Amino acid sequence: MAENKKLRTPIVCVMGHVDHGKTSLLDKIRGTAVVAGEAGAITQHIGATEVPIDIIVNKCGQPQLINKFIVPGLLFIDTPGHHAFTSLRSRGGALADLAIVIVDINEGFMPQTIESLQILKRFKTPFVVAANKIDRIPGWRTNPEKPFAESFKNQSENVQQLIDTRIYELVGELYKLGFNSERYDRVTDFQKNVGIVPISAATGEGVADILMILLGLAQKFLESNLRFDANNPGTGTVLEIKEEKGLGTTIDVILYDGTLKKGDTIVVGSLGNPIITKVRALLKPRPLTEIQTEEKFKSVNEVTAAIGVKIAAPSLEKALAGTAVRVAGSDNADEIAKEIKTELEQV
Ligand code: GTP
Ligand code: MG
């Protein structure tokens, strides 16, 4: 669809308290697609997983919706209690277009849940709450991979009541932070109410519902913001600085606007003066490999937002996580360096 080319992939950050299931949910989203025999279509980027739109609508059992949505897919970013992530958010980089806040339904709100919500509030980022680990509710009858509503119908009255009680506790906590919320299937206007989706990252129950709501949010809130021109100079944020065998110091970057090419001059934030260097190689991990253990990368000539990519270039030793990466033209590298430095000094 030509229309798709005009929208970039929305970036969805998965946030929440330690151990509440952020990585498990992403594993589930990835794994389900593999089970569906669509591994080739899923790309695992650096610190990020891109899920194309056709896989999402199929997973939701609604392939006919493929023409209704104009986003090309969703780019999920896992957020460990990562310092780089906090600083990049507080820089107002607005990296996340949307978010999932995960909370263990058995534990309720914890400090990092609250912190995540405060960040989202500050940046006015639309989000959905995933009330995870429903399979741990005493008496829960598992219905693997089913939408929540279907699974809920198969539960005893006691379990149904317990779920509703827990959800109302979450509604109360959210209200204290200034958000109106409801169980997602009772929300009529997602612009006024945050949807809470009970899920299990372990069994896959409710995961399709989360994906559907995210697409709806993307469509509704982001259409104007996500339009972009692939001809824009690439702009991104440094997630991590890593030493790689044979490559020297590299930076893992989320590119959120424009195009980045091999040979481009880039300006990268640093503790001192920003680094001006030339891209020697652009590297993507192989599809569906675990980034932490991945050692083989695929070299590509160019990448377009939104995407996670590893950049190899000289002089990156002093690059700073959380700072900007911008492609420079033939004569404006110094000017861009000044802008990045000023931004950093304002933090
Ligand atoms: P950090 O990255 O450390 O912040 O944690 P996380 O939020 O990524 O949590 P992770 O996905 O690593 O899950 C923590 C533990 O909870 C693991 O042992 C998971 O197997 C388990 N877990 C996650 N989701 C579920 C679920 O839905 N049900 C059950 N039973 N266990 C789960
Ligand atoms: Mg994790």
- The secondary element (H helix, E strand) that includes residue 27 is helix 22-35
Which ligand has the minimum distance to the alpha carbon of residue 81? 1
What single DSSP character describes residue 7? Answer: B
State how far the Cα of 236 lies from the Cα of 47, in Å rounded to an integer.
14
For residue 91 and ligand 1, the question of a CB distance below 6 A is answered with no
Least confidently predicted of 61-70, 262-271, 328-337:
61-70
What is the distance between the alpha carbons of residues 253 and 87, in angstroms, rounded to a whole number? 14
Exposed / middle / buried, residue 188 (Cβ in 10 Å: 0-12, 13-18, 19+):
exposed
Q: Is the peptide bond before 201 cis (omega within 30 degrees of 0)?
A: no
Q: Is 28 in the pocket of ligand 1 (CB under 6 A)?
A: no
Torsion angle defined by CA atoms of residues 49, 200, 39 and 302, in that order, rounded to the nearest 10 degrees:
-10
For 64-88, letters b (16+ CB in 10 Å) and e give: ebeeebbbbbbbbbbbeebebbebb
Q: Is 329 helix (H, G, I), strand (E, B) or coil?
A: coil
Distances (CA, A) of 23 to 191, 193, 281, 297: 27, 26, 29, 22
Average pLDDT (23-30) is: 85
Going by alpha carbons, the residue nearest to atom 4 of ligand 1 is 18
Q: Is 201 in the pocket of ligand 1 (CB under 6 A)?
A: yes
Q: Taking 50 as the threshold, does the pLDDT of residue 5 lie above it?
A: no
The reported pLDDT for the residue numbered 303 is: 92
Question: So what's the pLDDT on residue 39?
Answer: 46
pTM for this predicted structure: 0.85
Give kind and range of the element (H or E) at residue 263: none
Distances (CA, A) of 289 to 27, 33, 36, 147: 11, 14, 17, 27
- Is the model's pLDDT at 91 over the cut of 50? no
Q: Which residue has the higher pLDDT, 228 or 286?
A: 228
- pLDDT value at position 210? 94
Residue 51: pLDDT band with limits 50, 70, 90: confident
**CA separation for the pair 44, 271 (Å, rounded):** 30
As annotated, the binding site for GTP includes 16-23, 78-82, 132-135
Q: What DSSP character marks residue 218? A: H
Nearest Cα residue to 212 out of 147, 145, 163, 273: 147
The pLDDT tens digits of the residues spanning 138-184 come to 999 999 999 999 999 999 999 999 999 999 999 999 999 999 999 99
106 CB under 6 A from ligand 1? no
User: What is the whole-number distance in angstroms between the Cα of residue 18 and the centre of ligand 1?
Assistant: 8
Tell which wins on pLDDT, 7 or 157: 157
Complex ipTM, two decimals?
0.99
* Spatial distance between the Cα atoms of 6 and 3, rounded to a whole number of angstroms: 6
Residue 340's nearest CA partner among 225, 238, 226, 256 is 238
Q: Is 144 in the pocket of ligand 1 (CB under 6 A)?
A: no
Candidates 13, 14, 20, 24: which one to mutate for ligand 1, based on the most atoms within 8 Å of Cβ?
24
What number of other Cβ atoms are within 10 A of residue 121's Cβ? 13
Average pLDDT over residues 259-275: 96
The rounded Å distance from CA 289 to ligand 1 centre is 19
Residue pair 14/96 in contact (Cβ under 8 Å)? The answer is no
Banded pLDDT at 61 (limits 50, 70, 90): confident
22 C-beta closer than 6 A to ligand 1: yes
